[in-house]
Amino acid sequence: MNTPLHPLRPIMIVDDEASILLAIDTTLQMAGLNNTITCQDSRRVMDMLAENPVELMLLDLNMPNVDGHRLLDDVRLEYPDVPVIIVTGAVDVETAVRCIKAGAFEYIVKPVEADRLVTAVNRAVSYQELKRENQSLRRHMLRTDLENPEAFGRIITRNRKMILLFQYVESIATTSQPVLVQGETGVGKELIARAIHCLSGLKGGFVAVNAAGLDDTVFSDTLFGHVKGAYTGADTPRGGLIEQAEGGTLFLDEIGDLTPVSQVKLLRLLQEGEYFPLGADVPRSAKARIVAATNHRLSALLSQGRFRKDLSYRLQTHRIYIPPLRERLDDIPQLLDHFLADAASRLNKSTPPVPRELEALLSSYAYPGNVRELESMVFDAVSRHRSGVLSLDTFKSHISRGESSSGALPASPASDADPPITFSHKLPTIKHATRILIEEAMRRTGGNQSLAAKILGISQQALSKRLKKQQRCP
């Protein structure tokens, strides 16, 4: 397997001493920064930059032909987006101040400490990624369409919230930072994770693992693998999923269910970019993008002490919240058409005609199981269908069971404490509030009195009387 390059654009190392070039290059390679080019002749630097865009430059000051001070000025003038880290034997404060004023990103004194060098380079790489992300976000804010709609082809929607979410995904997909996807069960968190991978440009594969129910040993063995003899029965070494995802994306679903010990291991993976296979004494470098997902509200888990704050901070560099289906009911018609056609195809049937009331009925339900629940409802109804118009009975039965068993639905993260109804400073009268509720119920059900009465918890006769009374007394 070919090792993926990191960063995507090369790090340019400029020094007139071959031994220094080799030492710096080796240090970076050992830290996983394996995309480098070196230059021993300072006269070639500007030509090399013209031929090959770079992520950043490590530059010596004291060189023959063209010294580092002049090169720093030239690079800052012609390639202002390239961070320049000065690596020099000059230790005086005046030189350091002059370089920083000239635009140097960092100043490191020889002999170079490996940790400081790697830290400075990683900071410059992160700075470049953040800058590109901000540019992408600004570009997407000015757009009303998607650059790569095909990446979201498996997500059926026309909802404006979802389109804005897709635009955000497009803007962050190429960064190397972790992504946290939040949303209730059945909203399509893995589909979003796959879209991120599709847009990332990564050459490796997409590897998914559900962390729910995994104890610490199984989690470690599944994710990190083991060496020979790590435990009884481990007769041969085995690579974990993080190794399988090398150069690609590792999707960790239900990370809110991880045990405290497993959370520590995941934190090390995110923080240090390395892990220990079971039974190993030497860490291995992780070269996969991490996308995590949970249907829990992390704020609640944090307040209960069930989730580490430092892990939460690491995961939330990029955070995506997928709204539940009840908050995007305008997707119901499109989803219904798609699931009807899909169910008919899988059952080798013709797509049945649907009654006019079906869309209104489906729009009156809260969907605790979200899109996945709607898909199951449609498949069940089509499998029972024999002839004529598709029956409403299966849908009504499912909705009745769902409403009696689901209880209160969770609030979205953006509105944890919001009441279901808000008022202006002046409260409406009971009569006015009743009129508003009835009008909203009729709007949601497309004027279907039977469904509107069901939503309001009254009989159809009672609703009919109230509607007639409202018509007489507008």
DSSP letter for 352, please.
P
Q: What is the DSSP string of 29-44?
A: HHTT---EEEES-GGG
pLDDT, position 144: 56
pTM attached to this predicted model: 0.67
Report CA dihedral (34, 39, 44, 49) to the nearest 10 degrees. 20
Distance in angstroms (rounded) separating the CA atoms of residues 229 and 262: 22
Which tens digits make up the pLDDT trace of 184-215? 999 999 999 999 999 998 989 999 999 887 88
The pair of structure tokens assigned to 148 is: 């790569």
Bridge partners (DSSP) listed for residue 44: none
Which tens digits make up the pLDDT trace of 29-78? 998 899 999 999 999 999 999 998 999 999 999 999 999 999 999 999 89
Amino acid at 91: V
Neighbours of 200 (CB within 10 A): 21
Cα four-point dihedral sign 73, 79, 84, 89: negative
Using alpha carbons, select from 87, 88, 85, 107 the residue that is nearest to residue 96.
107
Contact by Cβ (8 Å): 209, 10: no
Distance in angstroms (rounded) separating the CA atoms of residues 321 and 165: 8
Using alpha carbons, select from 421, 447, 451 the residue that is nearest to residue 434.
421
Distance in angstroms (rounded) separating the CA atoms of residues 373 and 52: 51
Which tens digits make up the pLDDT trace of 131-150? 877 776 666 554 557 888 89
pLDDT, position 196: 96
pLDDT, position 142: 46
Q: Which helix (H) or strand (E) holds 430?
A: helix 430-444
Half-sphere exposure (Cβ direction) of 232: Cα atoms closer than 13 Å:
0
DSSP letter for 105, please.
S
Which tens digits make up the pLDDT trace of 339-372? 999 999 999 999 999 988 898 889 888 899 999 9
Place of tokens 């023959």: 64
Using alpha carbons, select from 451, 420, 48, 131 the residue that is nearest to residue 443.
451
Q: What is the DSSP string of 379-423?
A: HHHHHH--SSSPPSHHHHHHHHHHHHHH-SPPPPGGGTT--SS--
**DSSP SS3 for 25:** helix
Amino acid at 456: L
The pair of structure tokens assigned to 23 is: 């030492």
In which band, very low, low, confident or very high, does the pLDDT at 408 lie, cut at 50, 70 and 90? low
Using alpha carbons, select from 325, 256, 326, 267 the residue that is nearest to residue 297.
256
- Does residue 407 have a pLDDT over 60? no
Distance in angstroms (rounded) separating the CA atoms of residues 220 and 268: 12
Distance in angstroms (rounded) separating the CA atoms of residues 436 and 428: 10
Pairing of strands 225-226, 238-239: antiparallel
The pair of structure tokens assigned to 323 is: 């709204």
Rama region for 370: left / alpha / beta (φ>0; ψ in -120 to 50; rest): left
Bridge partners (DSSP) listed for residue 291: 179, 251
Distance in angstroms (rounded) separating the CA atoms of residues 192 and 80: 35
- Does residue 423 have a pLDDT over 70? no
For 286, 335, 351, the CA distances from 341, given in Å and listed in that order, are: 42, 10, 6
Using alpha carbons, select from 322, 308, 221, 329 the residue that is nearest to residue 256.
308
pLDDT, position 299: 86
Rg over CA atoms, the chain: 29
Pairing of strands 318-321, 179-182: parallel
Per the prediction, the chain carries an average pLDDT of: 87
Mean pLDDT of the 321-333 span: 93
Pairing of strands 249-253, 238-239: unpaired
pLDDT, position 21: 94
Distance in angstroms (rounded) separating the CA atoms of residues 384 and 433: 42
> Where does 212-308 have alpha helices with state H?
216-224, 241-244, 260-272, 298-303
Contact by Cβ (8 Å): 275, 227: no
